[in-house]
């Protein structure tokens, strides 16, 4: 049976174990090795020993597991705000890497008059790499700027390829890599709210 483990609280040990059978059936949820019974027979809602509700959803085809504990996604799940922000930063690092690669392409041979394009690509690469680092450190400004820059680049490239006669459906693929950037905004907001509500550490 496929099994995934999660931490109940951020920074804690992965005490929660979730396993399932074919088609997502025979769902089992264990906490510290002890099985939690569903609140209803065959259901996907559970309750932790401390009373907090736990909802589990398994996509058996992709193996994606979503777990909501007391109204919040568990750390490490795909809708966890920290995970979403990390994914947004990773996309920016990938864009930076792609622009570094583009700087070494013989673009001037393919398109005369574009001799300065590699220098521009290198500058844009530096921007995306810096933005990725800043976003990983929760910079809302860099997330806005990099999302705007990436969207404008995708639009310009799509127009150029469209004029070159490329299939419109293929052009839509240019915007797919940008999708993880947008949840980063709500992730930053959720992280800010979570940290503000977190009790302050005792002094001394």
- Average pLDDT per block of 10 residues along the chain, 204 residues long: 87 90 82 90 88 90 88 89 94 93 70 66 93 95 95 85 71 78 92 73 44
Q: What are phi and psi of 127, to 5 degrees?
A: -60, -50
Gap between the Cα atoms of 47 and 69, Å rounded: 9
Give yes or no: residues 55 and 89 share one domain: no
Residue 155 domain flag: yes
- Count other Cβ atoms within 10 Å, centred on residue 179: 11
Residue 170 has a pLDDT of 67
Q: What is the pLDDT of residue 115?
A: 58
Tell me how far apart the alpha carbons of residues 93 and 125 are, in angstroms, rounded to a whole number.
9
* Alpha-helical segments (H) within 22-165: 81-103, 107-110, 117-136, 140-163
Write down which residue in 27, 52, 73 finishes a domain: 73
Provide the whole-model pTM: 0.76
Is residue 86 located within the same domain as residue 68? no
35 and 100 share a domain?
Answer: no
**Domain that includes residue 111, residue range:** 81-195
Predicted local confidence at residue 112, as pLDDT: 58
Say yes or no: 11 and 67 in one domain. yes
Could you give phi then psi for residue 136, rounded to 5 degrees?
Answer: -65, -20
Is there a domain that residue 101 lies in? yes
Pair (109, 160) in one structural domain: yes
pLDDT of residue 163: 78
Residues 67 and 87 in one domain: no
């Amino acid at each position: 049976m496929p099994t995934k483990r999660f931490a109940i609280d951020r920074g804690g040990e992965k005490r929660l174990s979730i396993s399932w059978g074919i088609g997502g059936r025979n769902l089992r949820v264990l906490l510290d090795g002890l099985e939690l019974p569903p609140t209803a027979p065959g259901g996907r809602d559970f309750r932790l020993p401390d009373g907090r509700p736990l909802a589990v959803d398994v996509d058996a085809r992709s193996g994606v597991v979503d777990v909501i504990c007391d109204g919040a996604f568990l750390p490490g799940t795909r809708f966890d705000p920290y995970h979403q922000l990390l994914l947004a930063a990773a996309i920016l690092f990938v864009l930076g890497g792609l622009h570094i690669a583009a700087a070494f392409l013989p673009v001037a041979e393919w398109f005369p008059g574009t001799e300065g394009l590699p220098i521009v690509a290198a500058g844009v690469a530096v921007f995306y790499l810096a933005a990725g680092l800043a976003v990983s450190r929760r910079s809302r400004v860099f997330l806005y700027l990099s999302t705007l820059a990436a969207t404008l680049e995708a639009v310009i490239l799509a127009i150029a390829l469209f004029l070159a006669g490329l299939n419109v459906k293929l052009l839509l693929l240019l915007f797919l890599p940008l999708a993880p950037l947008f949840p980063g905004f709500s992730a930053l907001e959720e992280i800010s709210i979570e940290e503000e509500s977190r009790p302050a550490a005792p002094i001394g």
